[in-house]
Structures are given as structure tokens and as C-alpha cells.
């Protein structure tokens, strides 16, 4: 399983640390929309963890990734209100999580979406 991270700093670094310290392979880490799309084309990750406030647009990244042929599953970090969560899910996110999520929970969420399990966390429709 491989992951591409799309997040502004220092959030990107904390996501990277949370995943890599728990044995998950981070293929690339990006800080902007265009870099993220290029990384996904290169790495073909199973999961892309996207910062809702990604420079260039978190929702734009989710929608663009949802249109990819071999689409990675998308986990969105941030966007706490029900309207923000709904927008992310409608754009194609598999899961929406808080920026304050514990590292163990984030790693479990990444593994779960690859296994097509639903955690039930913050998934509000």
C-alpha cells in the first residue's frame, strides 16, 4: 500500500510522520494542487491524504482525483462543519477526519479505506 500526502506545512510533516512511523509507505508528499496531481500520476498510490485547505484547493484536488482512471481513495483532513464534510464526500472523498486526529487513528483510517471498510467517523450525509 502506498500513500501520497497533499498538505500544507506543518500538517504535511505530521501526517508523514504518523504514517511512516507506523510502517505505511509514503510515496510522495506535496504542498500544492498541481504537485499532488503530478505525484498521483507518477506514484499510482492506493490512498491520497488531502488537506482541506491545500494551496490550490483541497476540494479541487478531491474532485480531480475522483476523475482519475485508477483513482486512489481520498481521505480529507480538516473541514469540521457538517457542510464541509458533506462537500468533501460529494467531491469524492472516502473519509473526512479532524486535523487533531491521533496518529494511530490516521494510520488505521488509511488502512481501512484501502480495505474498503467504513470507519463511520465524521461521515455525515
Q: Nearest Cα to 121, choosing from 29, 72, 106?
A: 106
Q: Between 16 and 115, whose confidence is greater?
A: 16
* 41, pLDDT greater than 50: yes
Euclidean distance between CA atoms 42 and 48, whole angstroms: 13
CATH T-level assignment (fold) for domain 2-114: Rossmann fold (3.40.50)
* 67, pLDDT greater than 80: no
Q: Domain limits of the chain?
A: 2-114
- pLDDT (tens digit per residue) in 74-106: 999 998 899 999 999 998 899 999 999 999 999
Mean pLDDT within 4-32: 95
Mean pLDDT within 23-48: 94
Confidence at 59, pLDDT banded by 50, 70, 90: confident
Amino acid at each position: 500500500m502506498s500513500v501520497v500526502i497533499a498538505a500544507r506545512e506543518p500538517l504535511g510533516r505530521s501526517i508523514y510522520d504518523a504514517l511512516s512511523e507506523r510502517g505505511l509507505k509514503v510515496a510522495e508528499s506535496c504542498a500544492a494542487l498541481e504537485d499532488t496531481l503530478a505525484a498521483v500520476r507518477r506514484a499510482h498510490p492506493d490512498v491520497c491524504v488531502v488537506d482541506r485547505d491545500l494551496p490550490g484547493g483541497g476540494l479541487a484536488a478531491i474532485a480531480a482525483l475522483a476523475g482519475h482512471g485508477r483513482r486512489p481513495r481520498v481521505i480529507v483532513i480538516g473541514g469540521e462543519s457538517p457542510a464541509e464534510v458533506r462537500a468533501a464526500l460529494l467531491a469524492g472523498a472516502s473519509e473526512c477526519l479532524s486535523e487533531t486526529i491521533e496518529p494511530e487513528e490516521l494510520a488505521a483510517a488509511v488502512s481501512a479505506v484501502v480495505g474498503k471498510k467504513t470507519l463511520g467517523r465524521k461521515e455525515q450525509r
